[in-house]
Structure 1
Amino acid sequence: MNEQNPVSQLRLVAIPRLAAGGRWRVEAMRAYSEPCLLWFTKGQGRITLAGSTRGYTANNAIFIPPGVMHGFEVGPQVFGTAVFFGKDTDITLPKEPHHLRIRETFAAQEMNITLDAILREMDSSSPANDRATLHYLGLLGVWLERQIAKAAPDVQKPDAAKRLVARYTSLLEKEFRSGMGVAEFAAKLGVTPTHLTRCCKQACGRPASALLHDRLIFEARRLLTETDLPVGFIASSLGFTSPAYFTRAFQHQVGKSPSAFRRAP
């Protein structure tokens, strides 16, 4: 497919494959630069989405807009599909994150049939297969819109603590490379570090500092595995004051030095 193809950025990935290379790839806090839909068909675990942690199980659909921090557990019994729509998608999709628990068998079957149709068209050499793929993607967007509307009466509005943590994770995703600590983030949000940490513990069971460190170390792991950038450059690019401080922080969380992590198979 050429670069002008409207479905060239679309990817459907089996959820277990997202953890290839280490469970940290899905469990650590991070955000995508494109919309993503997680459709779980088997298994259970917990997911933290925009700073709030909830359990998920089979027939759960989780829509994640670009820039929304998240991380989720993926054990050996977890199966499903992740749909990455691409940065330039023009499919009508929700603007906010949603966690949908699909209880109607027909609705779950409809999702499975639509995903199968998208995969079939993507792999097809039939005429107009790209256009057919786009139409099925449009139906996927309609499915999301309808399920969100159906769930709306039962959805509880986030309380003040969850709203603050959502603002924190949004700011964190934008500025985690800045070298700012929790106190500086709290000041930007107009609250005290103590209050921010209390709200984070209430919303996701972790202090504000843990979310910050998780995001930094995820990015460090990604750069160490996907690039040849020197460790000192990675440390500087992530706002650490020195390579030695970065190494200590990395080893404390990962159990290996950055160089040892890079060498590991």
Structure 2
Amino acid sequence: MDRARNFWHFSDMRASAPTLQTTPIPIWSLYGESRDFPDVLHIETIRARAAELDWQIAPHRHAHLHQVFLITTGAVQMSIDGAPRQLTPPFLLTLPAGVVHGFRFAKGTQGWVLTVPVQTLPEMLSASAPVSGLAQAGVLPVTAEMTALFQRIAAEHASTQAARATMLRALALQVACLALRGLDAAQPAAARSQDARFAQFQDLLRQHLRAAWGVEAYARALSVSPRHLSRICHAATGQTAAALIEQATLREACRLLVYTRASVASIGYGLGYDDPSYFSRAFRRVIGRAPNRYRADFDTA
């Protein structure tokens, strides 16, 4: 069982290709609600949302909402982009827009979930933000400072005082800054000192995954040569730009195989593979299983 201090990240690859022929993974504003987001942010207790759903939240995603869960007591089994995790509270979980997530809470689990539209904090949460540490899901220990912030946000959210929206945004910005610092501190020193263009490449990869951009297109967007982009990627990860593009594309394929009923061929086409056989071979080479087997293994799990 992972403790919160065992920092982990999941990549954030969005699924929105219009070429897929089935309804994609459910996209909600708040879970189970389809109305537009009504406020500068939203905060509620875990009990308020989960108790009425038998403490289980089915896998879904939020297209334009960033969520931060502060869990104080209880137990949580979760799935983040199809990867199961079980964590022991207290912990803080950050989930960027687009990440598929589901939960099974132990009855009586306590904590809060803070939901912040990307447009509320574009300098921290948008794809073009100069910082990218919040662009991936991550778990951190809970601090007294963070707990106090959540309590203040809950109180301010319930109030009708002057400048309420401004105060809520200021408090949410503090949460984002503290989470970013915690995530950054948990990264190896080498990762923190990497070329800033690698973070820009990651942002572009999230934005243009479905456009089937090649290394040349990403290099052009970054005003570098393809060879230099690969050097940047290799310095940061030990892998070439082409390998990272392929891995990101096939991770999205994994999501679609698990969370949609789209055919293997249509998933491949939607991710830029013109030949279903080539897509299947690439998937097996990178993931280690054929697409149909990958889907079947999750269906029977």
Which category of TM-score, normalised to the shorter sequence, fits these structures? 0.5 to 0.7
Alpha-carbon distance, 1:226 to partner: 1.3
In structure 1, the residue matched to 2:257 is 224
Alpha-carbon distance, 1:35 to partner: 3.5
Instruction: Give the Cα separation in 1 of the matches to 2:71 and 2:247.
Output: 24
Matched residue type, 2:287? V
In structure 2, the residue matched to 1:113 is 148
Instruction: Give the Cα separation in 1 of the matches to 2:159 and 2:240.
Output: 46
**Alignment partner of 1:97 is 2:124:** no
In structure 2, the residue matched to 1:45 is none
In structure 1, the residue matched to 2:241 is 208
Instruction: Give the Cα separation in 2 of the matches to 1:261 and 1:11.
Output: 36
Alignment of 1:1-265 (within 5 A): 3=35, 5-6=38-39, 33-35=64-66, 84-87=115-118, 90=120, 94=124, 95-97=129-131, 108-115=143-150, 129=158, 137-138=168-169, 140-144=171-175, 162-264=195-297, 265=301
In structure 2, the residue matched to 1:103 is none
Matched residue type, 2:271? L
Instruction: State whether residues 37 and 83 of structure 1, in contact with CA within 8 Å, keep that contact through their aligned partners in structure 2.
Output: yes
Instruction: Give the Cα separation in 2 of the matches to 1:223 and 1:262.
Output: 9
Instruction: Give the Cα separation in 1 of the matches to 2:172 and 2:249.
Output: 33
Normalised to the residue count of structure 2, the TM-score between the two structures is 0.49
In structure 2, the residue matched to 1:53 is none
Q: How many residues align?
A: 203
Bigger shift: residues 137-146 or 248-257: 137-146
Matched residue type, 1:180? W
Instruction: State whether residues 186 and 196 of structure 1, in contact with CA within 8 Å, keep that contact through their aligned partners in structure 2.
Output: yes
Instruction: Determine which structure has greater relative contact order: mean sequence separation of CA pairs < 8 Å that are 6+ residues apart, divided by chain length.
Output: 2
Instruction: Give the Cα separation in 2 of the matches to 1:146 and 1:188.
Output: 28
Alpha-carbon distance, 1:263 to partner: 1.2
Alpha-carbon distance, 1:202 to partner: 1.5
In structure 1, the residue matched to 2:16 is none
In structure 2, the residue matched to 1:73 is none
Alpha-carbon distance, 1:195 to partner: 1.2
Higher helix share: 1
Instruction: State whether residues 33 and 66 of structure 1, in contact with CA within 8 Å, keep that contact through their aligned partners in structure 2.
Output: yes
Instruction: Give the Cα separation in 2 of the matches to 1:85 and 1:115.
Output: 13
Instruction: Give the Cα separation in 2 of the matches to 1:190 and 1:2.
Output: 40
Residue 193 to residue 145, structure 1, CA distance change in 2 (3 Å)? closer
Residue 2 to residue 161, structure 1, CA distance change in 2 (3 Å)? closer
Residue 227 to residue 34, structure 1, CA distance change in 2 (3 Å)? same
Deviation sequence 1:5-57 (CA, Å, 0-9, x none): 437876889xxxxxx99xxxxxxxxx97433558899xxxxxxxxxxxxxxxx
SS class of match (2:195): helix
In structure 2, the residue matched to 1:46 is none
Alpha-carbon distance, 1:166 to partner: 2.5
How large is the Cα RMSD of the aligned pairs?
Answer: 5.0
Matched residue type, 1:177? R
In structure 2, the residue matched to 1:72 is none
SS class of match (1:97): coil
Unaligned 5+ runs, structure 2: 1-32, 47-57, 73-89, 100-110, 135-141, 183-188
Identity over aligned pairs, percent:
25
SS class of match (2:145): helix
Alpha-carbon distance, 1:108 to partner: 3.1
Normalised to the residue count of structure 1, the TM-score between the two structures is 0.55
Instruction: Give the Cα separation in 1 of the matches to 2:45 and 2:242.
Output: 33
Matched residue type, 1:210? A
Alpha-carbon distance, 1:259 to partner: 0.8
